[in-house]
Amino acid sequence: MLIDRPVEKDWAFGAKIKKFGLRADVTGAKLYRNGENMIIYGLKNCDTCRKALRSLPDATLVDVRAEGVPEDVMTRAYAQFGAALLNTRSTTWRGLDAQEREQEPLVLIAAHPALMKRPLIDAGGTLYLGWTKDVAAQVTP
């Protein structure tokens, strides 16, 4: 059961509702934007992912090393962002040999999750890559 009313603070569940249009589940565990869960795919030790999580405190961080990224999300992200999904500036990339670098980006990311550009944000089915001012302006309430 979802609470579908504009409130500033729901004391019963401790869920802070910052803006109209957000809904809280009755356990108060998660907040929703446009009826969907906001998920940040990244690394728990990545500074950029930490910045995004601080700006989006109601989002859920999924550590791609520990949990991975669902295949359907990766397929949508690759279709939307293409080769930009691959972080060619990382130390993991520099450690790969030429033969490994020629593999398909999705295969490389599956084998080496740290190669994914971070963060990948799923906000109600809309994907955003990286944490720039433009992305922050679009996803912050």
Question: Per the confidence metrics, is the pTM higher than 0.85?
Answer: no
Q: Which helix (H) or strand (E) holds 134?
A: helix 133-139
How sure is the predictor about 17, in pLDDT bands with cuts at 50, 70 and 90?
Answer: very low
Note the pLDDT tens digit of each residue in 54-105: 999 889 999 999 998 999 999 999 999 999 999 989 889 999 999 999 999 9
Mean pLDDT of all residues belonging to the chain: 78
CA–CA separation, 141 vs 18, rounded Å?
7
Tokens 């433009």 locate to 134
Residue, of 9 and 131, whose pLDDT is higher: 131
Catalytic residue ranges: 46
